[in-house]
Structure 1
Amino acid sequence: MPQRPEVDDASEDALLQEAEVAKLDTNLSFSKVNYGQMAPHVNLDPRQGLEDAPSFDLYRSRIPMTLFRDIIAGIDKTFLRYGPMTAHQNEETRSQFLSPIFDCLVPLFGSHIRATPEARRWTTKGRVEYQFIILGTITVLFVEYMKVVGGATEHLNAVAQLIAECDAGDFANQRTNLHVPVYGILYDGNAFEFFLFSRNTKSPSQPSFFCGLLEDPTGSEIRMPLALLTGKSSALGFMRDLRLICEIIFDLLLKSYIECLTQYSNVSQKGSKSGSKWPSLDGWDAAIKSAKETLDICRQADQHRAAGEWEASNAKAECGMQMLGGSVIAVPRVRLRSVLDDFTECAAMVNRF
């Protein structure tokens, strides 16, 4: 495990406390929105039910077998405690099966990816939400669980909730001139879907909410099924589906991490030109270089996986973990800045709907 880089702990704690208060305020508003209200906000037609949403490409970044076994071990403990995974379990129980994904992937980034204080929160609408911030300041990834029952209408309303949450993250980022996309992940008890919120400031009338699309030799997939873990007979299908989902999530975390590092590097360059005291640009450059190499190597590892070259795939994935560890250590010490308090202002905006 890479060493934890130095950060300003006092400012980080203050940031997380502000995030908790801000999210309590915004949830009161966000929980009321529906797809008919939110779709026009991202330039989509509510009547088309996401059919008019543009797509963005999803990729798999291979993780080592040892890491995947750790995820499976965490799920196995949950299985022993709660029994088989069923569609009729409550949200709290069902979410326990999937929490090892984030418990194992997020620590790979040291302290640079952190869950907000209410990292696993059950809302009054029966949803479970995970929210993560990168480099302690930018909310870039939201994960939401919803009830299995309810059909297409509830599914679209869950998407509307996700749009509102992503919009709040984007609003906070824009206030500090940090222009990064916000990724959203939705699990409905049957399958995972991946989304991206990225506002086009040059063409405001263009859609700003995108659906993730995974291309493979058999076709294109938007929904990634996750077979229920009901016993030994279903374990193989569950693990096959789970590995795909884990590696898509890891790829998105890597991309988000690189995007945020790049933004901070740009801010550092401007600060250096203006005479402000900023950490050495060499640290940012080294962190970005290693992170990009990690993404490239882990995607290559997946290509070996697709070709059935299992040893080469795992060796590449292990190499990627080493590169990521080097990136985490190279990130310069920075004083964390709070942007999540801007969620409170976004709550007033959402109240218009």
Structure 2
Amino acid sequence: MPHSCDVNCNYCKTQVPGTLPQTIKTMGEPHQYFLKHSVGSQVLPEPTTGECKVGKGHHYPHHHHHHHTHGEPGETISTAMPLRGIDITKLPVRGYTPPLVNVHRHHHHEEHRHDYLDERILSRKGAESAIIHLSKKHGLDLDGVRAKALERDLEQIATSLSYTMMAQRVHLDPHAMVGDAPTFQVHRARIRGSDFRSIVQDFETLGNQYGPPPDHLTEAGRSRYVGAAFNTIVSWFRLMIYNRPEQFLESETPKKHGLRNYFKCFGGCTILVVDIRLNLGIGRDRLTAIAQLIAELETCNLNNEKQGFMVPIIGILCDGSSFEYFSYDGYSKSFSRGLLVSKSVPGSTAIARVTLPPITQATGVEYIRALRPLCESFYFLLLKGFLAGLEAYIRRAGDYGAGNGTRNYGLESEWELALAKAVFARNKSVEAGEIANTGDVMRAEKLADEAKSLLEESLVSIPVGYQRRVSLMSCFEIADAITA
């Protein structure tokens, strides 16, 4: 039997006598709405025509507080929102039309969507089954999906880089502050005296043009001096190795500051990254710079993998005056430090950071003596990367043969001959560097000259499709005579 009482209407602030169901039917639509919400347990009667009449002709926010149906007859209006949790004093009054707000909007929609999947895929087996099903249904390339996932992962890392995060990715203890990283040896590969002279001339020219490195407050300015050390050495490889610098715009993301030089082998495989900073710093600042270098090397490794290459990538962290060496192995996901060593000097200490003296404060002799080991370490690292690039192309030639119908990859025997010559060139140049440290400069120069010839032979042995060179000076005499 219907309950009889005096109902307090929150719309007109009066008591309405009678039974509750009868009151709801007889009162106007505004009363219906507020009566319904006052009791919290009653529902509006189902429309007989199938048409939703709630709020018809009025602008009441209740239309957005219910899940209405506007379809076929017989569909019901959902139960009313209970009184508990609703502040009645804040409900709209007659004549006020509040802005329409979609209260069904889901906050953090993306998180909810991921949570939806996580709640339903509760095991590794279930995840594998879902991936297989989706890959078959949509024709997905699983290798491409993996690469895209890693790219997004690296993008997310870039917004919150820390050494703690990156150290764990390369199996290091964050609290050891790189002290637990494995090491590799960096040697001095002897540069002939005539070649080193041209490098020193480049430094002198740039010093007079741009001033000392500390005067430049941008990475682009500091890079001029780093470029002087690489200009002559890289040109020996005849575009088999070339530099692709990339300037990042200023942003709030620390990873996107600075300038990086990417040295690519045969145009496709990144073998060396020079990361130029305004200040390497100490403590946390240094660790942050190392973390950013790890992320950069990991990204380069991903790009190499897309092209079918798997090579260790060398990283040089520098500020124009100080230089540190690192290496990233994508196969084992390991990160190691390079130490400049000298086997020929008994009791010598391996150097983790090579530093040039201030160019305006040191004497010419002091600066040149400090510059030679640095340049020779660069030569060694480029040779090391060149060997890794040759090995990668040998593997690809073995996998695809001389060609796949669209591109000539060259004969595997050609790549192997080039590799053998390059190994001899590396060994002789390192031997020459060790002998020079003993004081036998004449013999060191002879070995350095032999090493340079072996490098030339290695470059000539590379398949013709990969050989290219910018050659201007061979035509200089003829051109100069014509223009004169």
TM-score (norm 2): 0.58
Aligned partner (choices 326, 335, 341) of residue 209 of structure 1 = 335
Cα 1:27/1:127, change in 2 over 3 Å? farther
Q: Secondary structure at the match of 2:181?
A: coil
Please name the residue that 2:203 is paired with.
Answer: 75
Aligned partner (choices 451, 459, 462) of residue 320 of structure 1 = 451
Q: Could you say which structure has the higher helix fraction?
A: 1
Spell out, residue by residue over 1:16-52, the C-alpha distance to the aligned partner (whole angstroms, 9 max, x if none).
xxxxxxx9xx889747523222111111122221111
Deviation, structure 1 residue 189: 4.6
Deviation, structure 1 residue 242: 1.5
- Alpha-carbon separation, structure 2, partners of 1:149 and 1:267: 38
Aligned partner (choices 284, 287, 296) of residue 165 of structure 1 = 296
Would you say the 8 A contact 2:266–2:466 is kept in 1? no
- Is residue 2:416 matched to residue 1:285? yes
Q: How does 1:1-353 map to 2 (within 5 A)?
A: 30=158, 33-86=161-214, 89-116=217-244, 119=245, 121=247, 123-124=249-250, 127-148=258-279, 150-201=281-332, 208-216=334-342, 217=346, 218-230=348-360, 233-272=362-401, 278-334=409-465
Cα 1:191/1:275, change in 2 over 3 Å? closer
Please name the residue that 1:348 is paired with.
Answer: none
Deviation, structure 1 residue 249: 1.2
Cα 1:189/1:47, change in 2 over 3 Å? farther
Deviation, structure 1 residue 188: 3.3
Q: Secondary structure at the match of 1:178?
A: coil
Pair member with larger Rg: 2
Cα 1:102/1:306, change in 2 over 3 Å? same
Cα 1:153/1:270, change in 2 over 3 Å? same
Q: Secondary structure at the match of 1:290?
A: helix
Cα 1:234/1:87, change in 2 over 3 Å? farther
Does 104-113 or 207-216 show the bigger shift? 207-216
Does 92-101 or 51-60 show the bigger shift? 92-101
Indicate the structure whose relative CO is greater, using CA pairs within 8 Å and at least 6 residues apart: 1
- Alpha-carbon separation, structure 2, partners of 1:176 and 1:82: 39
How many residue pairs get aligned? The number is: 304
Aligned CA-pair RMSD: 2.7
Would you say the 8 A contact 1:294–1:321 is kept in 2? yes
Cα 1:128/1:98, change in 2 over 3 Å? same
Contiguous gaps of at least 5 residues in structure 1: 1-22, 202-206, 337-353
Deviation, structure 1 residue 183: 0.4
Would you say the 8 A contact 1:92–1:122 is kept in 2? no
Deviation, structure 1 residue 324: 0.8
Deviation, structure 1 residue 195: 0.3
Contiguous gaps of at least 5 residues in structure 2: 1-150, 468-484
Q: Identity of counterpart residues, as a percentage?
A: 27
Q: What amino acid sits opposite 2:181 in the alignment?
A: A
Would you say the 8 A contact 1:144–1:185 is kept in 2? yes
Deviation, structure 1 residue 177: 3.8
Q: Secondary structure at the match of 2:363?
A: helix
Would you say the 8 A contact 1:227–1:234 is kept in 2? no
Q: Secondary structure at the match of 2:341?
A: strand
Spell out, residue by residue over 1:199-250, the C-alpha distance to the aligned partner (whole angstroms, 9 max, x if none).
344xxxxx6000002233321211112112115x432222222111111111
Spell out, residue by residue over 1:266-289, the C-alpha distance to the aligned partner (whole angstroms, 9 max, x if none).
221233399876423332122112
- Alpha-carbon separation, structure 1, partners of 2:216 and 2:159: 23
